[in-house]
Amino acid sequence: MNLLNRFLTYVKIDTQSDPEVESCPSTLKQKDLGHLLVKELLELGVNNAYMDQHGYVYGLIPSNSQRNITPIGFIAHMDTSPDAPGAHVNPRIIKNYDGGVIQLNETLSMDPQKFTALKHVVGDDLVVTDGNTLLGADDKAGVAEIMAMVEIMTLHPFEHGDIYIGFTPDEEIGRGADLFDLNFFKAKFAYTADGSLIGGIEYENFNAASARVSFVGKSIHPGAAKLKMINAQHLAFEFHSLLPVFDNPAYTEGYEGFNHLSNTEGSVEFAKLSYIIRNHDMVKFNKQKDDFKRVVAFMNDKYGYEAVSLKITDSYFNMLEVLKHDMSPVELAKQAITNVGLTPHCEAIRGGTDGARLTFMGLPCPNLGTGGFNFHGRFEFASINQMEQAVDVMIEIIKLISK
């Protein structure tokens, strides 16, 4: 099966994760893709491939060398973001993109003046959505590329060391590394295939936390509410208004952090706000968390009871803090990217990957570009040409480490 057919097959499987479910995987439908990947790995000769009870898929291509070659790995995640519809994905192929406006459906279009990622794919064959769902290039592009890499190694064998394969659930809700089996995955380092523009090698990411803020109001009939009612929804509005206005993702870029309000719900008696907190700089990251705590203290003092409660949970940290002590995985990837005729480029991820968590767990994991763009929404697309180049980069990494 060629790379494109793999990708089109994978994106049609609904694998959205659910942040409100505590089990792993958070949605059983993620295992539908997991079962397919195990089947395909076994057919490709990865005889030890399996999926564990939590939906993680593993495989090992054993060394075929008499030399002691460093074991490495490749990782991608199977779930897609809950931020946009993910069922009934209907991908469409655009041949030889001409650089113009792409009409997704009757009401939605992508204009390169606004969606500037399109400037990187002029002349490429693209896979786009029909405007009704996300595509799932994040991260089924990475999944398809790793599977294509395995197929190449099967059909055209060359000398290599142990190559570990891992596909994770629930990355989009910050839990992809929670139950990753490092007892099986014995690579010295690995790469997550979860980036965007081809040639990218990313080794900086946000420090990340989630915040859940709960509000308890006092309900009474609105006809008799004067000086008695405290509306929990109004408390939530007030709380949000007291956070720094420009710590909003709509006003940030580059290394600037943000507090992103991701979900709201409520009634007169009870309301809840969910946020994600992000910053590359640990000092600024901690200040943002302190801002939440200060607003809670102020409001509880103002209202004279525990009207507001807060739970902040750290999700992952900036992998640079670990990788800066040994940049050899990054340098190896840069050399591989150069060798296949591309220009390596590095930028800080305005997000995170499973690799961030795994790096702090003892498995250094920089991130590679996959050729997917505009993640988490209806304007998501992938370049088939860049996806093919991503496979070339992976193969070249394996050949370089084998030397």
With cut-offs at 50, 70 and 90, classify the pLDDT of residue 160.
very high
Q: How many CB atoms lie within 10 A of CB 157?
A: 11
Backbone angles phi, psi at 189, to 5 degrees: -155, 170
Domain shared by 247 and 197, yes or no: no
Domain shared by 131 and 176, yes or no: yes
End position of a domain, from candidates 258, 284, 316: 316
Domain shared by 105 and 142, yes or no: yes
Say what the pLDDT of residue 213 is: 98
Predicted TM-score (pTM) of this structure: 0.88
End position of a domain, from candidates 316, 349, 382: 316
Domain shared by 358 and 272, yes or no: no
End position of a domain, from candidates 301, 316, 331: 316
Pair type for strands 189-193 and 367-368: parallel
Distances (CA, A) of 144 to 40, 194, 263, 368: 11, 11, 31, 14
Domain shared by 215 and 177, yes or no: no
Paired tokens of 205 = 């990411």
Residues 6+ apart with CB under 8 A from 45: 154
Domain shared by 12 and 143, yes or no: yes
Contact between 30 and 139 under an 8 Å Cβ cutoff? The reply is no
Going by the DSSP 8-state scheme, the letter that residue 69 receives in this structure is P
SS3 103: strand
Mean pLDDT of the chain: 96
Domain shared by 146 and 277, yes or no: no
Domain shared by 154 and 78, yes or no: yes
pLDDT tops 90 at residue 373: yes
Identify the bridge partners of residue 92 per DSSP, sorted by sequence position: 128
pLDDT digits (tens, 9 = 90+) for 20-52: 899 999 999 999 999 999 999 999 999 999 999
Q: Is 79 a catalytic residue?
A: yes
- Domain with 22 in it: what CATH number? 3.40.630.10
CA angle 37, 42, 43 (to 5 degrees): 95
- C-alpha span between 190 and 188 (Å, rounded): 7
Per the structure, the count of domains in the chain is 2
SS3 235: helix
- C-alpha span between 342 and 45 (Å, rounded): 31
Domain shared by 95 and 108, yes or no: yes
Say what the pLDDT of residue 396 is: 98
pLDDT digits (tens, 9 = 90+) for 285-311: 999 999 999 999 999 999 999 999 999
Contact between 130 and 38 under an 8 Å Cβ cutoff? The reply is no
Distances (CA, A) of 283 to 28, 66, 257, 287: 38, 48, 11, 6
With cut-offs at 50, 70 and 90, classify the pLDDT of residue 353.
confident
Q: Is 347 a catalytic residue?
A: no
User: Residue 307: which domain range?
Assistant: 207-316
- C-alpha span between 375 and 394 (Å, rounded): 22
Identify the bridge partners of residue 259 per DSSP, sorted by sequence position: 277
pLDDT tops 90 at residue 403: no
Domain shared by 79 and 170, yes or no: yes
Domain shared by 240 and 279, yes or no: yes
pLDDT digits (tens, 9 = 90+) for 230-274: 999 999 999 999 999 999 999 999 999 999 999 999 999 999 999
Say what the pLDDT of residue 63 is: 96
- Domain with 226 in it: what CATH number? 3.30.70.360
Domain shared by 124 and 170, yes or no: yes
Which one is catalytic: 79, 139, 151, 202?
Answer: 79
pLDDT digits (tens, 9 = 90+) for 162-192: 999 999 999 998 899 999 999 999 999 999 9
Q: Say if residue 79 is preceded by a cis peptide, omega within 30 of 0.
A: no
- C-alpha span between 319 and 29 (Å, rounded): 30
SS3 16: strand
What order of strands is seen across the sheet that includes strand 372-373? 92-94, 126-128, 381-383, 372-373
Q: How many CB atoms lie within 10 A of CB 399?
A: 14
Say what the pLDDT of residue 352 is: 81
Which one is catalytic: 139, 162, 171, 380?
Answer: 171
Contact between 117 and 196 under an 8 Å Cβ cutoff? The reply is yes
